[in-house]
């Protein structure tokens, strides 16, 4: 995952994640490139899960709506 993908994941963590995810997102926003990479590696599952949510929302915005209808 690159820096930009991490930033997208952090946006979702901030909006939809719990308190811990929100705190990691805030740390990511403030981190330099080295520490941002460390955060992405240390919390890879968290970043990957939330990036996947961002991707679904961006590329398949009606998917969840269509599945419930």
pLDDT of residue 59: 56
pLDDT of residue 54: 87
State the residue range of the domain holding 13. Answer: 3-68
Would you write out the chain's pLDDT as a tens digit for each of its 69 residues? 999 999 999 999 999 999 999 999 999 999 999 999 999 999 999 999 999 998 887 755 554 544 444
How many distinct structural domains can be found in the chain?
A: 1
Are the beta carbons of 54 and 9 closer than 8 angstroms? yes
pLDDT of residue 56: 81
Dihedral angle, C-alpha 47, 49, 52, 56, nearest 10 °? -130
pTM of full prediction above 0.85? no
Residues 35 and 3: their CA atoms lie apart, in Å, by 11
């Amino acid at each position: 995952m690159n820096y930009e993908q991490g930033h997208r994941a952090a946006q979702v963590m901030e909006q939809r994640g719990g308190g811990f995810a929100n705190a990691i997102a805030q740390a990511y926003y403030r981190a330099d490139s080295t520490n941002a990479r460390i955060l992405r590696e240390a919390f890879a599952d968290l970043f990957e899960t939330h990036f996947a949510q961002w991707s679904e929302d961006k590329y398949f915005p009606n998917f969840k709506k269509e599945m419930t209808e």
